[in-house]
Structure 1
Amino acid sequence: MLHDPPKANDQQKRPNAARLQTGALVIIAFAVVLFLMVQARFILISLATAIILFSLTSDVISFIARQRIGPFRIPNALASIAAMLLIAVALLILTSILLAQVNTVLVTALSYTERAPSAIASLFSWLGEDSEVAIVGALQSIDVSSYLSTAASQASGLTQATVLVILFVGFLFAERIWFETKLTNLVGDEAQAERVGKIIQSIIHRVNYYLLVKTMISAVTGAMIYVLATAFQLELATSIGIITFVLNFIPNIGSIVATALIALVAHVQLEDPTTTLAIFFISGLIQFVNGSVIDPMLMGRALRLSSFGIILSLAFWGAVWGIPGMFLSVPIMVMLLVVCSHVPNLRPLAVLLSREGLPESEKMLDQPIDRDLFGQDIRRD
């Protein structure tokens, strides 16, 4: 004989309703935060970049303060001002170089608009003449000038973003002397404030080390691509080298785009499939050795992030903040990994984000950092 299942009583319904309500509130809050992040992306991207650059100031200031002029050591205040000026000048120089190269690429791209469709379509000649003609027609229907003008307008906003980043770094720099006091008052417990400070120092050390290694690898890769482009007498050799340097800060995808870019420029200019194929394989080999062999060796175990996690972070921040989000995806993931490693409820997420499933432990947090970003012993008098 069949019986109806027992009905849940009121005490069982209340926890279920509370969980549903909490879940709904979390989803709504996430949607609101995501909406605000998209709408305020210009300011938030500038702020995130400023925070990352501000993290560099501690090591730069310490490095400058340890230098001596004869028997005298550079005062900490003077070292702080020098570090701030160095970051500002470096940002302005980098921005001017990027804008100049973008202008060169846009002008050259306009001169390639007539022969580029036929050159690109020839890559698909193995599909048949009809397919090649269709590809040429499709490429010729694209209004290249409108896309180039859009790219030029977006590049012009880079100067505004650079100025805003410098202002943010300056104000963060002015507030740094009160940070420990604010942290202690905010947490309310000196021991807990000290632990939070160690977590922040761990984040700064790892992000700085990532940026240092990535800059070195990207610079070497860009220089090698420049030499390759110069050897084959490509018109945009300098621009390709600089763009390769920049794109290598985008994990995984950046190297692929850079390799495709030099192959495309070579094919449009030289119109020789054999030469294009040779350039493609050589540049791909350079990217593979530097990005997949040397880069992981220099990064070390402390920065071994999950490849799948990097792709997810890249996709998420790329969808939210566009191309700038792709550049910031790995530093943000490093910060998230360190924070989750020291929050018990979030440690499973840290295990998933780390490559070997071995995130930072509490013992690692208590280990003093003996060397700075430049490899100098910070304990040295």
Structure 2
Amino acid sequence: MLHDPPKPTSPEKRIDTARLQTGALMIIAFAVVLFLLVQARFILISLATAIILFSLTSDVINFIARQRIGPLRIPNAIASIAAMVLIATALLILTSVLLAQVNTVLVTTLAYTERAPSAIASMFGWLSEDNQAAIFNAVRSIDATSYLRSAAGQASGITQATVLIILFVGFLFAERIWFDTKLESLIGDKAQALRVRKIIQSIIHRVNYYLLVKTVISGITGAMVYALALAFQLELATALGVITFVLNFIPNIGSILATGLIALVTHVQFGAPNTTLAIFVIATGIQFLNGNVIDPMLMGRALRLSSFGIILSLAFWGAVWGVPGMFLSVPIMVMLLVVCSHVPHLRPFAILLSREGLPDTEQMLNETAKRDVFQKPPKPSGGI
């Protein structure tokens, strides 16, 4: 004899309702956070960059403070001021170089506007004449002037962001000496506060090592591309070297964009398929050697991120923060990997984010906390 299924009791109804409410609240919270990330993107991007630069200075300060002038050791305060001056100087120089190269690219692009459609259409000579004509009309219909004007406007915002980042870093320096005290008071447990501090030190070390290696590799790649462009007498040799250096900080697609850009500039300037192909092959070889051989060799275990996770992070932060989000996607993912590795409930996410499915252990956390990016024990002092 068939029986109707038992009706859920009142406690079961309450559990289902609570789960439904929790899910709805999580969706609403995610939507609110996403809205704030988009609306406050300029400030948040500047703040995130300032925090990364500030964390980088913690290793720089430890390195400077270990140096001696005769029998005297450099005081921590002087080391902090020196690191701040170095950061401000480097940011201002980098900004001026970028703005100068952007201005060069914009002026040269205007000169190339007339011959660019025919040069680009000729790259598809293996297609039919109708398809080439369609590509030519499509490229010619692009309003390059408006895009260049927009690019110039965005470039002018780099100076404002640089000043804001320097201010943020300065105020973070002012709070640095009180960080340990605030952390211990916030958590209320010395042992747990020490563990949180080790996690923060691990994040700092991993991000700093990634930035150090990436800067060296990107600098070498940019210099090689500059030499290549100079050898073929390209008008934008310096700009291509600088742009290659910058784009290589964007994982995976940055090197592809840089290689495509130098090939496009070559074809527009010379219109010779053989020359374009030669530069494309050489530039691809440079990017492959530095990005797929030397880079992984130097990174070692410092960047054990899932390739698919990097693509997802790149797509998400690129959609939320645009190009700056692409530059920050890997440091943010490194932070998430370290945090999730040492929070039991979030460890499954760390397994998904890690390359081999082996996130950090407590032993690795203790080993990382004992050294800075220069592989020496940091000088004990207040703050991180």
TM-score range normalised by the length of the shorter chain: over 0.9
Q: Which residue in 2 is equivalent to 1:70?
A: 70
Aligned residues: 380
> Which residues in structure 2 correspond to 1:314-333 (within 5 Å)?
314-333=314-333
Q: What is the CA deviation profile of residues 43-94 of structure 1, one whole-angstrom value per residue up to 9, with x for unaligned ones? A: 0000000000000111111111122222222221111101100000000000
2 CA distance for matches of 1:378 and 1:55? Answer: 14
Once the two structures are TM-superposed, the CA of residue 11 in structure 1 deviates from its matched residue by 1.7
Q: Which residue in 2 is equivalent to 1:128?
A: 128
Q: Which residue in 2 is equivalent to 1:272?
A: 272
Q: TM-score, normalised by structure 1?
A: 0.97
Q: How big is the alpha-carbon RMSD for the aligned residues of Structure 1 and Structure 2?
A: 1.3
2 CA distance for matches of 1:134 and 1:179? Answer: 61
Q: What is the CA deviation profile of residues 279-306 of structure 1, one whole-angstrom value per residue up to 9, with x for unaligned ones? A: 1111111111111111111111232110
One-letter code aligned to 2:48:
A
Determine if contact 1:218/1:244 at 8 Å carries over to the other structure: yes
1 CA distance for matches of 2:198 and 2:379? Answer: 17
Q: What is the CA deviation profile of residues 93-113 of structure 1, one whole-angstrom value per residue up to 9, with x for unaligned ones? A: 000000000000000000000
Q: Which residue in 1 is equivalent to 2:293?
A: 293
One-letter code aligned to 2:163:
V
Q: Which residue in 2 is equivalent to 1:146?
A: 146
User: Structure 1 vs Structure 2: percent identity of aligned residues?
Assistant: 78
Q: Which residue in 1 is equivalent to 2:9?
A: 9
Q: Which residue in 2 is equivalent to 1:226?
A: 226
Determine if contact 1:263/1:276 at 8 Å carries over to the other structure: yes
Which has the bigger relative contact order, CA under 8 A and spacing at least 6?
2
- Tell me the secondary structure at the aligned position of residue 373 of structure 1: coil
One-letter code aligned to 1:334:
V
Determine if contact 1:310/1:330 at 8 Å carries over to the other structure: yes
Once the two structures are TM-superposed, the CA of residue 324 in structure 1 deviates from its matched residue by 0.2
Q: What is the CA deviation profile of residues 253-280 of structure 1, one whole-angstrom value per residue up to 9, with x for unaligned ones? A: 1000000000000000011111111111
Q: Which residue in 1 is equivalent to 2:31?
A: 31
- Tell me the secondary structure at the aligned position of residue 5 of structure 1: coil
Unmatched 5+ stretches in structure 2:
none
One-letter code aligned to 2:154:
Q
Q: Which residue in 1 is equivalent to 2:165?
A: 165
2 CA distance for matches of 1:350 and 1:15? Answer: 29
- Tell me the secondary structure at the aligned position of residue 185 of structure 1: helix
One-letter code aligned to 1:272:
A
1 CA distance for matches of 2:375 and 2:342? Answer: 26
One-letter code aligned to 1:177:
I
> Which residues in structure 2 correspond to 1:1-381 (within 5 Å)?
2-367=2-367, 369-376=369-376, 378=378
2 CA distance for matches of 1:30 and 1:130? Answer: 48
Deviates more, 1:61-70 or 1:239-248: 61-70
Q: What is the CA deviation profile of residues 314-363 of structure 1, one whole-angstrom value per residue up to 9, with x for unaligned ones? A: 00000110000000000000000000000000000001100001111011
Q: TM-score, normalised by structure 2?
A: 0.97
Determine if contact 2:184/2:190 at 8 Å carries over to the other structure: yes
Q: What is the CA deviation profile of residues 219-256 of structure 1, one whole-angstrom value per residue up to 9, with x for unaligned ones? A: 01101111111111111011000000000000001000
2 CA distance for matches of 1:333 and 1:90? Answer: 25
